[in-house]
Chains A and B, each alone.
Chain A
Amino acid sequence: MTGNRPIKFRILELCNKNGGAWNYEIVRQIQKEYNLKGDFQRDSINFDLIELASGGLLKDVDAKVDEEGIYKKGFLLHKYVITDFGKTRAADACLMYV
Chain B
Amino acid sequence: MDLQSLKKQEHQRRIRKGFMWALFCAILWGLWYIPGTVVWVLNPFDEMYGEIAATNGDAISLVITAVLITAFNALTVILALMVWNGALGKFGEMKRTLKEFKPCSKWFFMASIFGGPMAILGSFIAMGFVGGAFAAVAALAYPVVGSILASQWYGEKISKRAFMGIGFIILGGITIFGGGLLTELGTGNVAWIGYIGGLMAAVGWGIEGAIAGKGLDIAEPDVGLTLRFLGENIIWWIIAVPLLAIAGFPMIKYALLVFEPLTLLVLVFAGITFGFCYVTWYKSFPLIGVGRGQGIGNLYGLFAVVFIALFFGDIPSWTILVGGALCLIGSSVMFSEDTGQMESLRGE
Contacts and interface: CB of A to CB of B under 8 A. Distances in A.
Q: Do A and B come from one complex?
A: yes
Interface of A: 3-9, 12, 34, 36, 40-41, 44, 48, 50-57, 59, 63-65, 76, 83, 85, 89-90, 92-94
B93 A6 contact: yes
Given A6-B223, A56-B348, 10 more contacts: A3-B96, A5-B96, A6-B219, A8-B220, A12-B218, A54-B344, A56-B344, A85-B348, A93-B100, A94-B218
Interface of B: 3, 6-7, 10, 14, 88-89, 92-93, 96-97, 100, 102-104, 216-221, 223, 286-287, 344-346, 348
Which 8 residue pairs across A and B have the least CB separation, nearest first? A56-B346, A93-B103, A56-B344, A51-B286, A6-B97, A6-B96, A8-B218, A76-B6
18 contacts: A6-B93, A6-B96, A6-B220, A7-B220, A9-B218, A12-B218, A48-B220, A54-B345, A56-B344, A56-B348, A63-B3, A63-B6, A65-B6, A76-B7, A85-B348, A92-B102, A92-B103, A94-B218
Contacts of A44: 88
A77 to B, nearest CB: 10
Interface residues of chain B: helix, strand, loop or mixed (majority) = helix
Max chain A Cβ within 10 angstroms of own Cβ: one of B6, B102, B287, B344: B344
A63 B346 contact: no
Contacts of A36: 89
Contacts, number: 79
Given A6-B100, A34-B92, A93-B103, A64 B3 contact: yes
Contacts of A5: 96, 100
A85 B155 CA distance: 11
A63 B7 contact: yes
Max chain B Cβ within 10 angstroms of own Cβ: one of A6, A53, A94: A6
Contacts of A94: 103, 218
A59 B345 CA distance: 11
